[in-house]
Structure 1
Amino acid sequence: MTIQENEITTGPKDLGIVEKNATVEVGEVKDLNIKNADLAMEVAFQSYGMEIDEATNRKILRKIDLYVCGLMGIVYAVQYLDKITNSFASIMGLRTDLHISGSQYSWVGSAFYLAYLVFEFPASYSLQRFPIAKTVGAFIIAWGFVLCMTALPKNYGGFITTRIFLGMLESAVTPAFVLITSQWYKSEEQFTRMSFWSGCNGLGSIIGSLTAYGLAKRQEAGTLPIPGWRLLFVIVGVITIALGIVFILVIPDVPTKAWFLTKEEKLLVVERIRTNKQGFGNRNFKMDQVKEAFTDMRLYLNFVVMILIEIPNGGMTNFQSKFCLYFKRKRNLKKRKIDKNREFTNIFLGILLTGLGYDTLGALKMSAPQGAVEFVGLILVGLLVSRFQHRMFIAVLGTLINIVTGCLLAFPKSHKAQLVGYFLFGLSPICFICYLSCISSNTAGHTKKVIFSATTLIGYCVGNLIGPQTFIATQAPTYTSAKIAIVVCYSLSLVIIGLTYYLNSRANKIRDEKNERLPADFVNAEFADLTDFQNPEFRYAL
């Protein structure tokens, strides 16, 4: 089929789709105006019947990976850099300059996630109601501005206020990226892409670590115009604002408006995702899908598992620099008599950790190896899933690694074993990625997907709220309770993963046995905004 060099036209205005706000049994279809269908429906009538050969598919996929997934990875790296900047700043003089106590610093991390939690539903709602790329781009620009303003506070109250606004604004990014990934990629491609852009957190950690180290060196030399930690916030904020502008210019709100695709490729993108049985999205907020979401057991499993896996993350994100400083001091105490200037052995990926005495410079550098483990490790995990398509097995494997990580941090007396545990913590997001991909692949119906995404990320916030509180100031620098909490939380999350797998595999088996189908004359049913409960042909990815 050849596409003429003219604008893509819309399809029929009336077609068989599920009626808005109606209670619909599996397979039941009613007639209604196209506005209640998916955004892809209008174009689907032109693309219907088109076939895409493997070479063309690879060409389109390369373009999507370059412009969409690549930019999401960069933004996600900077988002994580924004989150951990206060961790670097805390050992660059922030706590001293603003007179922040240990218990107050714990609330700095919790305040961010409390604001994230409160604003999650409004942010997710705005992503459905308004053009998604422009909306998330505006959020990015706004949080970049707030980050720049974080350099101004003179006391604890002013600083924690900026963290609250930052949490509110960053609440839109992850749900937006889940929705964008489901727009552009087939179900079997989504985990790999989420592993990439989520793994870019590690890239953010590397960049942040080395930037903070460089500023700290300049600060020691007395060549900075303002304190290094304040300049760090300004630099990262300006980068974030620039990325927000680029995001708006590069990422289209729907794939059929992509400037980097030809007319024919825009239609073929629709056919690529037809097997997802989901489409691009729907801007009508449907109460029947809201009700269905809250009757779906998966929603509650997602919520609980997020709390469990994010309690460790919430603590480590805010206290990782203190862990680094603790490890360096233990290492130096042992080796100082042998050779003060001797380099650490090569631990991961050829990255050398240098012993530099009791100052904070080495502690700042030590976040880089963990970031490298996360960046490389998560991408490799994504490639593994793309080959074998068993994401829940990978979630179990990742959680077992996390349990080992927690044990290495909590129980050995050897600082070498603890340091290995600290670096392995870079692989902790594996389970998080798995559940994000389940929202993307296993939750059909756009409003239902938005509810699932928001609720899951509220669980993410609750876990990150609790996490910093497990770091009890009186236990510094060992933080024993926090390390034990890591082991307990990951162990409990294994149970939730098992229940999720059982629920999805059982649902698939029942549907296979019933072998129900939608009406044969229901054209483009894949883009009718049916939920996974309403569509008997839907199968859950395992």
Structure 2
Amino acid sequence: MTTEKIDSTEELQRVPSFTKENIGEDIVLTTITSANGRAIKLTGDVDEAMALAIDNEGVVLDPEEDKKLLRKIDFALLPIICILYAFQFMDKTTLSYAAVMGLRTDLKMVGTQYSWCGSAFYLGYLVFEFPASVILQRLPLAKATAAFVVLWGVILCLHAATNRYAAFVSLRVLLGVLESAVTPAMMLFTSQWYKKEEQFFRTSIWFAFNGAGTILGGAIAYGIANHAEQFSITAWKALFIITGVISIVIGIVFSTSTFQIIPSKAWFLTEHEKRLVVERIRNNQQGFGNKHFKFYQFKEALTDVNTWLYFLLAAASDIPNGATTNFGSILLNSDFGFDAKQSLLMNMPCGAVELVGCILLAYTNKWIPHRMALSVFAEVITLVSSCMLAFAPSRQARLAGYYLMFVGPVTMICALSCFVSNTAGHTKKITTNAVYLIAYCAGNIAGPQTFIAEQAPSYTGGKISFVVCDAFSVLTILAIYASYYYGNKKKDKEESQTSTALKEIENYEFADLTDRENPYFRYSL
């Protein structure tokens, strides 16, 4: 099939249509000149939903049907996603709980050895983040995710089988490798099932279940610590075995629940509803996904200024996250004076603040349409809270600051939902996501290192690093906000100056175009 260049809508009759015969192969159907002079190549290598979209002629989605379908999707998908995300975070925090249950003493840790246990997890995460994203693109999403979950549950159980520091650190690296897939998978699920305007709130729900994981993990750890004499093994080993087995069960449930991402295979939808799902996400201009890696989209992701602004944001905002995830219970024990068992309980309010606070802030998006503004607001609260933790003279004010810091995840929720809704082109999406999560790993690796053993019990240097990182994060979010705003202004101007033939081509929304390629794509603020 030859390549044609179409400069006006009058020549549209020469543009080949997307048909079931020409989709699936990387053949250029036509090249269109966009408003900014960019050549847009329409190929047969399109989105997985294109075949359904072609058959959707005459299908109309009315508002009442839309609401009913959204409720059905929520009830079918959100519970299992939320449960999975809660348990993956609980698995991360088991190290912090184990630290006050005898782990450091039993493994004879000295100096910065415990800090490196926290950093080792994110070293594995860092190394495998991009390979994990590629695996999720090329393999069935639900099955691949379930396999990662089961394997990380096994590795978590194996933490109890070692009495040597080197072996323990190696297991932390492997755990990071396996958990590197979960956040990209959840983002893909969200982008493929929800409209742009629905994605921020749904992302906030499943991400806020990190808080539920904190509460549940603290409760399990406290229960084990209270009945330690009834176990034939030490309490911290029992903690790893119990949380590991729970993860294995969750992974098996995930793999056997016929949880499918493509509407044509979704067990909970009727044939008519499968077509309506395609119409629901048409205006996202993104589709459901594409299993082929496209190098030009990879290159575009790496030359997009927003990719690197998010890289800086992740690196800065996750230094405090890495520190509190691994040192939270220790800080409550050493700085605030709670005993080992009390510190397990006193960490649970952090989970409650995150679970309730993040969802409530995201819910206000109904009245405050700019989620980036909500992200700035949440980060300012986090900055004030970290100042309280670092500088307040009273113990109560410092403790309040420690708890209020846990509204900070709204910043990451906003970032993840922006990747979902504001990055089009499937390869570009997974690349941008991987770059962000690489920086997320770097921040989490550095975080535990800010807590220096010689500064115990107050760890002043670590607390001051929170303030610096939160201040930088506020400035970075404002820069991203401005980038999206002026990006939309530029697209509006280019579209008004020159029209393109693209909009006249049926189902172009499922052509797997990037946000830069598609002149009708607009960034959601």
TM-score range, shorter chain: over 0.9
**Aligned residues of 1:48 and 1:271 also touching (Cα < 8 A):** no
Q: Who is 1:536 aligned against?
A: 519
Which residue of the partner structure matches residue 214 of structure 1? 223
One of 383, 399, 415 as aligned partner of 1:435:
415
Counterpart for residue 14 of structure 2: none
Aligned partners of 1:413, 1:49: CA distance in 2, in Å? 67
Whole-Å Cα distance in 2 between the matches of residues 18 and 185 of structure 1?
27
| TM superposition shift of 1:518 | 4.2
User: Which deviations, in whole Å up to 9, do the C-alpha atoms of 1:168-217 show, x marking residues without a partner?
Assistant: 00000101111110000001100101101110000000001111001000
Say if 2:422 and 2:523, in contact at 8 Å, map to a contact too.
yes
Which residue in 1 is equivalent to 2:200? 191
Tell me how large the CA RMSD over aligned residues is: 2.0
Distance 1:263 1:102 in 2: 61
Pairs within 5 Å for 1:169-318: 169-219=178-228, 222-250=229-257, 251-318=259-326
Q: Shift in Å at residue 63 of structure 1?
A: 1.9
Q: Which residue of 2 aligns with 1:349?
A: none
| TM-superposed deviation, 1:392 | 0.6
Q: How far did 1:256 drift?
A: 2.6
Moved more, 16-25 or 198-207: 16-25
The aligned amino acid for 2:434 is A
TM-score, length of structure 2 as denominator length: 0.92
Residue type at the aligned position of 2:171? T
| Offset, 1:387 | 3.9
Distance 1:131 1:227 in 2: 40
Give the gaps of 5 or more residues in structure 1: 1-9, 330-357
Pick aligned residue for 2:153 from 138, 144, 152: 144
Deviation at 1:514, TM superposition (A): 2.3
1:85-484 matches, within 5 Å, as 85-219=94-228, 222-250=229-257, 251-326=259-334, 328-329=336-337, 359-484=339-464
Q: Residue in 2 aligned with 1:52?
A: 61
By how many angstroms is 1:29 displaced? 4.7
- The amino acid across from 2:300 in the alignment is E
Cα separation, 2, equivalents of 1:519 and 1:209: 54
Equivalents in 2 of 1:178, 1:410: separation in Å? 34
* Contact 2:28-2:41 within 8 A present in 1 as well: no
Q: How has the CA–CA distance of structure 1 residues 19 and 533 changed in structure 2, closer, same or farther, with 3 Å as cutoff? A: farther
Greater alpha carbon shift after TM alignment, 428-437 vs 244-253: 244-253
Indicate conservation of the 8 Å contact 2:319/2:443, yes or no.
yes
The alpha-carbon deviation at position 327 of structure 1 amounts to: 5.0
- Structure 2 counterpart SS, 1:47: coil
- Matched to 2:315, the amino acid is I
Answer yes or no: is the 8 Å Cα contact 2:200–2:362 preserved in 1.
Answer: yes
Q: Does structure 2 conserve the Cα–Cα contact (< 8 Å) formed by 1:16 and 1:522?
A: no
- Measure the CA separation in 1 of the matches of 2:451 and 2:353: 24
> C-alpha distance in 2, partners of 1:168/1:60?
36
Q: Is the 8 A contact 1:256 1:269 kept in 2?
A: no
Which residue does the alignment assign to 1:486?
466
Cα drift, residue 319 of structure 1 = 0.1
Shift of 1:15: 6.3
d(CA) in 1 for partners of 2:154 and 2:494? Answer: 55
**Aligned CA distance change for structure 1 residues 365 and 16 (closer, same or farther; 3 Å):** closer
Q: Distance in 2 between matches of 1:208 and 1:224?
A: 18
1:525 and 2:508 matched: yes
Q: TM-score, normalised by structure 1?
A: 0.89
Deviation at 1:49, TM superposition (A): 3.7
* Contact 1:398 1:431 survives alignment (8 Å): yes
Q: Counterpart amino acid of 2:243?
A: V
**Equivalent pair of 1:21/1:287 in contact (CA under 8 Å):** no
Give 1:54 deviation, angstroms: 2.3
Secondary structure of 1:52's aligned partner: coil
Query: Cα gap change, 1:23/1:417 in structure 2, threshold over 3 Å: closer, same or farther?
Result: farther
Separation of aligned partners in 1, 2:339 and 2:328:
16
| Equivalent pair of 2:86/2:210 in contact (CA under 8 Å) | yes
Please tell me the residue identity of whatever aligns with 2:403: F
CA contact (8 A) 1:182 1:441 kept: yes
Deviation at 1:359, TM superposition (A): 3.3
Judge conservation of contact 1:18–1:30 (CA < 8 Å) in 2: no
Residue 223 of structure 1 and its aligned partner are, at CA, apart by 1.3
Distance 1:148 1:512 in 2: 55
CA distance in 1, matches of 2:43, 2:226: 65
Secondary structure of 2:331's aligned partner:
helix
Q: Classify 1:22/1:44 alpha carbon distance in 2 versus 1 (closer, same or farther; 3 Å).
A: closer
Mapped to 2, the partners of 1:205 and 1:86 lie a distance apart of 12
